[in-house]
């Protein structure tokens, strides 16, 4: 096995992201489009990212993420600013501490195995859709415990109409809401059904009528900050909904891209499988085991680099500022792009090649990227709190896939879709060659 397995061939691109990349190469880190308050300002590249993260007071997130309100709710962290954001983040962060997440490793392993148990050699499966369901079950069990995890398909069914709204541009979403379209009415009905179940579980948790208090919901209900403040039921509902969405809609997309890359870049699958079988054999991974999976961790990081969940992110500009020698007035929406940053040759050697070994500190020429250079989960005050859970889940489930199967890619074009949760539009078809 070549030590340098991986790196052949350009990565699959995404036309809207590649168009932004071309704009950045031509016009530099600051561009403007449109007029006045309805216009857009594009700040792209590492220096722009660093400026945005360091100057949160210049921007507001609420207006930029209105499209998420039907799903996440009014008080979700991503839709919060200023003191309210700081307060909610203090209360939510302990629920997602790495020690809490360590307790979910067995859940992640069991759900991956349950999916793989149904596979048979010679069968063609959509690995993206199959593991999307497994990741949804894992997320809900980790959030709400085993009782509600039995209803994971119920949540998946009723959340889908809400998740579909995330693909709309804000103007389209406003059209749906204002004219009460069929898609909007269906989403409203589905949200009411989901909310009824979530609020009932919150009430059970507050009364102590729960089967398992080692989950995120219990931590959110019982959490207090230094002043004794706690989250309201509505805030708990909104944080839980946000975590569900981030937990399976975005994570499953990254999982699909990781499998696609491992199967299509020469040597990557074989090297990752060899490492997994050497480190884990057939046991449930511990946190120490996961740290030893150096190459597989590189697969996860490299996938997040080339296919970050959010192609773009946005903020509303609320104060005038200067950047790159130009004055930017308050009013327009500001756009920055992890996708563009992650493909810049001045930041990444051979940027379009999938090279997991670039993340190994033992490799010659290793350089740890700064938070303004690698930002798959955003950055600054609004960096996603669920990032550790997402990367842990990806590593555990990919390890089970590598340990228990041999797969072959099925010929066909793989096309990305969505700005908010970059995913393979038609799934990732694979043939099961063998299964242990």
Could you list the residues known to form a binding site for heme, using ranges. Answer: 384
- The binding site comprises 384
- Number of neighbouring beta carbons within 10 Å of residue 123: 11
CA 159, CA 193: separation in Å to the nearest integer?
10
**In angstroms, what CA-CA distances link 373 with 47, 58, 88, 342?**
9, 21, 27, 7
Backbone angles phi, psi at 430, to 5 degrees: -140, 155
3 state DSSP class of 275: helix
**In angstroms, what CA-CA distances link 182 with 150, 169, 172, 176, 177?**
29, 17, 13, 8, 10
Sign of CA dihedral 376, 378, 380, 381: negative
Backbone angles phi, psi at 314, to 5 degrees: -145, 160
CA-based R_g, the chain, Å: 22
Task: Report strand pairing: 59-60 vs 429-435.
Answer: unpaired
- Number of neighbouring beta carbons within 10 Å of residue 276: 23
């Amino acid at each position: 096995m070549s030590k340098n397995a991986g790196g052949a061939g350009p990565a699959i691109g995404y036309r809207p992201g590649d168009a932004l990349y071309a704009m950045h190469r031509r016009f530099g880190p600051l561009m403007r489009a449109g007029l006045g308050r309805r216009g857009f300002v594009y700040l792209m590249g590492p220096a722009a990212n660093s400026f945005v993260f360091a100057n949160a007071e210049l921007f507001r997130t609420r207006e930029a993420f209105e499209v998420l309100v039907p799903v996440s709710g009014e008080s979700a962290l991503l839709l919060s600013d200023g003191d309210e954001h700081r307060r909610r983040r203090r209360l939510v962060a302990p629920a997602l501490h790495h020690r809490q997440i360590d307790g979910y490793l067995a859940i992640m392993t069991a759900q991956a195995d349950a999916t793989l148990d149904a596979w048979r050699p010679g069968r063609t499966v959509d690995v993206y859709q199959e593991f999307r369901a497994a990741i949804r079950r894992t997320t809900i069990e980790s959030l709400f415990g085993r009782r509600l995890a039995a209803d994971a398909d119920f949540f998946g069914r009723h959340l889908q109409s809400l998740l579909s709204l995330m693909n709309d541009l804000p103007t389209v979403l406003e059209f749906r809401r204002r004219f009460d379209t069929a898609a909007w009415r269906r989403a409203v009905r589905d949200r009411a059904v989901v909310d009824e179940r979530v609020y009932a579980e919150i009430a059970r948790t507050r009364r102590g009528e729960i089967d398992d208090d080692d989950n995120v919901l219990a931590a959110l209900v019982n959490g207090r900050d230094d002043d004794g403040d706690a989250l309201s039921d509505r805030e708990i509902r909104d944080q839980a909904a946000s975590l569900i969405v981030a937990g399976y809609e975005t994570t499953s997309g990254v999982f699909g891209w990781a499998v696609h890359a491992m199967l299509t870049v020469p040597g990557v699958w074989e090297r990752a499988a060899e490492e997994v079988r050497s480190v884990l054999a057939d046991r449930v991974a511990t946190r120490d085991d996961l740290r030893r999976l150096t190459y597989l961790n590189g697969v996860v990081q490299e996938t997040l680099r080339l296919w970050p969940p959010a192609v773009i992110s946005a903020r509303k500009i609320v104060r005038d500022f200067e950047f790159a020698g130009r004055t930017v007035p308050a009013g327009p929406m500001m756009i920055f792009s992890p996708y563009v940053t992650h493909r810049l040759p001045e930041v990444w050697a051979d940027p379009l090649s999938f090279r997991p070994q670039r993340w190994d500190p033992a490799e010659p020429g290793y350089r740890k990227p700064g938070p303004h250079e690698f930002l798959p989960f955003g950055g600054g005050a609004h960096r996603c709190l669920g990032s550790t859970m997402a990367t842990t889940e990806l590593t555990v489930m990919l390890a089970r896939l590598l340990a228990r199967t041999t797969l072959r890619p099925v010929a066909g074009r793989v096309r990305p879709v969505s700005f908010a949760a970059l995913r393979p539009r038609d799934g990732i078809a694979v043939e099961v060659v063998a299964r242990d």
